[in-house]
Chains A and B, each alone.
Chain A
């Protein structure tokens, strides 16, 4: 899987690249408008992370260029300008997703994986992890062939943790992903804990070969047994 990170802020670029490389992706970078345009024209990528504010031009122009050349690279716009207009314009120009800065790495991985899935497998897919099987279309989970009855929130939590397996997922990232932007008061995280507790119990009762670890003070990590 080849990913192009177009980002002018070196530290930001470095962090994203390192995090993506941990997932064994092949990562290339571009730091300004011209080099980005060159790379986009010459090579094909499975996914492009595109910053809108670039030295030398707008990321939206790159998006237009891609569309003009009828390239099918998946594009996730990453922007500090969390404006509705940018979002709508970007999505209209054919971007797959829009991720406002700042974001959690777990969220970036989830979005990248979702784009790759849609591009490579035409959206149809089953996710297998040890004896855990997830049907992404039907929102169903099986452990060793036996269906695991989860409510919607539990399913969302599990999927997010599976997508970020072996990675540390902060409770804020998890809360924002599952409950949306409504969560922004830390004292509300207690109820996340109760959901996780239920999920853990269900996984354990069904003998799943995955385990949700609590990382004290930060969040959770899904590991294979």
Chain B
């Protein structure tokens, strides 16, 4: 629920309570006033009837209400003496409504020619149920009107007031650490929003700076490592050539060189990763994936033959993608290499290429790998001395760069699927 409507919901609830309370109060006050005014009317009519009776004795013969609004009945003195004017609500059959309707009745006593008469004057009364109904409808409309006005007001006024907030929100939503672009801050006079803007700005800048420092560190560290690695390797090569060396010594040199070479590969892969993440690969062009797969398989033909791997390539359609050619080659190469290196001897390698996806399946370990970790840097299934553990991270980085998705599934074989 949006913030604006959230406030409106609370307001609507509160209004319901307030208006209901107010309606009850208003209803009883109004009813009170109506009775007061009716009773005044009845009093007046009483006086009129009594005056009329003084002049016209037929009035005294009005025994029932049928033809008028009053009734006169002679009563003995003993009854009359204690009587006071009483007002009461009663029901009376109404011809027009064909129903009993509430009426207000004044019962009084007057004396005429030493005789006592009871006079009842009636007046039609407010129909309370109708009144309540009418009132309820009016209030409902008032309530709806109010809520609607608040909604409109919120959406016009509050939206304008909260604009800087939504701007910040949108900015955070679109923020990418790896390509942080400076966005102009929405000007505002509201202190809280100014503070919010400043805080967010500071936070983002710190994050971007930290990220870039880290990136630069990896890059510089990798660069700085190249030269000492080169010197060490080349010195060892010179040493290995110096005669005479015993086999045992050569073996030791060989092991050191192998490890230095491993370090070199690790270093190169890290550099490559940071270059991909820094988007330092430029011009894209149409890359034919089928031709690329074919070429890469050719490059690997010796390893494939050596491991006796059956290759099944299914690429019915020509698929071209807009990619940097080096990165495209890297992507395919790392995927295929992974599938060859971890393949079983005499296993199969199934490659399926379609317009939508490239999937590479290979035989290997008979249990699934942890799908959430296979793309992590330095993830290795076993402590392999030769693997860098970066190949699939590079694949993932390239996929991320081009908004491809890659996933891993296990169904008898290990399947890596890149969806374009």
Contacts and interface: CB of A to CB of B under 8 A. Distances in A.
A82 B268 contact: yes
A180 B298 CA distance: 12
Interface string A154-197: 00000000000001101010000001101011111011001100
A72 interface: no
Nearest to B234: A15
Nearest to A170: B257
A216 B234 CA distance: 18
Contact of B306 (A170, A186, A190): A190
Given A84-B326, A184-B388, A12 B227 contact: yes
A83 B282 CA distance: 12
A217 interface: yes
A217 B251 contact: yes
Interface in A99-122: 101-106
Contacts of B255: 217
Given A101-B227, A102-B264, A190-B306, A182 B234 contact: no
A16 B255 CA distance: 22
- Interface range on chain B: under 10, 10 to 19, 20 to 34, or 35 or more? 35 or more
Given A179-B302, A215-B240, A217-B255, A9 B280 contact: no
A101 B233 CA distance: 11
B62 to A, nearest CB: 118
B254 A103 contact: no
B33 interface: no
Please classify the interface of chain B as helix (H, G, I), strand (E, B), loop, or mixed, using the class held by over half of its residues: helix
Nearest to B245: A215
B402 interface: no
A15 B232 CA distance: 9
A12 B385 contact: no
Contacts of A153: 302
A173 B385 CA distance: 18
A26 interface: no
Nearest to B247: A216
A195 B230 contact: no
B241 to A, nearest CB: 5
B231 A9 contact: yes
Interface in B366-420: 384-388
Contact of A9 (B227, B252, B326, B388): B227
Contacts of A179: 299, 302
A170 B264 CA distance: 15
B271 A82 contact: yes
B176 to A, nearest CB: 24
A83 B280 contact: yes
B59 interface: no
Given A15-B238, A82-B268, A216 B233 contact: no
A153 B280 CA distance: 33
A14 B39 CA distance: 124
A85 B281 CA distance: 9
A144 interface: no
Which of A102, A104, A106, A194 has most B Cβ within 10 Å?
Answer: A102
A168 B299 contact: no
B224 to A, nearest CB: 8
A81 interface: yes
B227 to A, nearest CB: 5
A102 B387 contact: no
A191 B306 contact: yes
Given A84-B281, A101-B227, A170-B257, A12 B234 contact: yes
A11 B251 contact: no
A28 B357 CA distance: 55
Among B247, B255, B261, B341, the most chain A Cβ lie within 10 Å of the Cβ of B261
A217 B388 contact: no
A185 B251 contact: no
A136 interface: no
B250 interface: yes
A218 interface: yes
Interface in A1-56: 9, 11-12, 15-16, 18-19, 22
Given A12-B230, A167-B241, A179-B302, A172 B261 contact: yes
Contact of B254 (A12, A182, A217): A217
Interface string B316-341: 00000000001000000100010001
B227 A168 contact: no
Nearest to A186: B386
Given A80-B227, A194-B306, A215-B240, A187 B341 contact: yes
14 contacts: A9-B231, A12-B231, A81-B223, A102-B230, A106-B237, A168-B237, A170-B237, A182-B300, A184-B388, A194-B306, A215-B250, A216-B247, A217-B247, A218-B254
Interface of B: 223, 226-227, 229-231, 233-235, 237-238, 240-241, 247, 250-255, 257-258, 261-262, 264-265, 268, 271, 275, 280-282, 299-300, 302-303, 305-306, 326, 333, 337, 341, 384-388
